[in-house]
């Protein structure tokens, strides 16, 4: 198994639920800089992550309804990893 080990300035974890996302962003020192519940829609997620475009890695808890978050983050204009 290969692990992704490239360092980044910010890391985002998303706990996806049917109606909400719990989003946590850490800096490279592992300090929490944002921890928030938002609606499970692309617009609030974009509003929250826009300041970090190009400088963040996004991880999502795997479950059956996470595909829209992957598609959203894979958009060319986001430049997220």
Look at residue 64 in the predicted model and tell me its pLDDT: 63
Better-scored residue on pLDDT, 80 or 7: 7
Average pLDDT for 77-81 = 58
Confidence of residue 70 (pLDDT cuts 50, 70, 90): confident
Structure tokens at 25: 């962003």
Q: List pLDDT tens digits, range 7-58.
A: 999 999 999 888 899 999 999 999 999 999 999 998 999 999 999 988 999 8
Q: What domains, with CATH codes, occur in the chain?
A: 10-73 (3.30.420.300)
Cβ density class 32-65: b for 16+ within 10 Å, e for less? eeeeeeeebeeebbeebbeebeeebbbebeeeee
What is the model's pTM?
0.74
Look at residue 50 in the predicted model and tell me its pLDDT: 93
């Amino acid at each position: 198994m290969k692990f992704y080990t490239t360092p980044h300035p910010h890391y985002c974890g998303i706990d996806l639920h049917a109606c909400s996302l719990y989003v946590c962003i850490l800096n490279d020192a592992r300090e929490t800089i944002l921890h928030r519940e938002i609606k499970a829609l692309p617009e609030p997620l974009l509003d929250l992550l826009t300041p970090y475009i190009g400088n963040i890695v996004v991880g999502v808890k795997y479950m059956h309804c996470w595909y829209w978050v992957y598609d959203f983050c894979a958009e060319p204009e986001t430049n997220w990893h």
